[in-house]
Amino acid sequence: MIRGIRGAIQVDANEVTSILEGTEKLMRALIEANSIHAEDVASVVFTVTADLNAAFPAEVRKRIGWDFVPLLCAQEIPVPDSMPRIVRVLVTAETQLGQKEIRHQYLGAAEALRKDLRS
């Protein structure tokens, strides 16, 4: 079954290191929580808030070894008063997990974005 797996993290600053380290932390949490294997991933879409432009989150592919997975970056809709410095991700992957078994990962302050998913 193909499933969408979501997550988000607030990074510390609009700096290459901060964006890539935060994105890596988010991706590793998603991978571990859902037993995701690169071969099972159809695609990954990252979005960032308008205040993040120092790096493409998709560069994380080098850190997690997903060299052949299609990754895309885009900018979030700039909603007034939304949480700043957020990297969001949608991983589309083949999994045996049911929809209610998927473990979406909203880390740190980004947990407030999806209070309904708290365990």
Q: Which two tokens stand for residue 89?
A: 């991700």
Half-sphere exposure of 11 (CA within 13 A, CB side): 28
Is there a catalytic annotation at residue 3? no
Q: Could you confirm whether 118 is annotated as catalytic? A: no
Active-site residue identified among 3, 6, 15, 85: 6
The catalytic residue among 28, 76, 103, 111 is: 76
Q: Is 88 designated active site?
A: yes
Q: Give me the catalytic one of 28, 59, 73, 111.
A: 73
- In the residue annotation, 106 being an active-site residue is answered as yes
Element housing 31 (H / E): helix 16-34
- Structure tokens given for 14: 């609009």
Choose, from 21, 24, 59, 114, the residue flagged as catalytic: 114
Buried b (16+ CB within 10 A) or exposed e, 64-103: bebeebebebeebeeeeeeeebbbbbebebebeeeeeebe
- Is 103 among the catalytic positions? no
Query: Catalytic annotation on 73?
Result: yes
Q: Which positions are catalytic?
A: 6, 61, 73, 76, 88, 106, 114
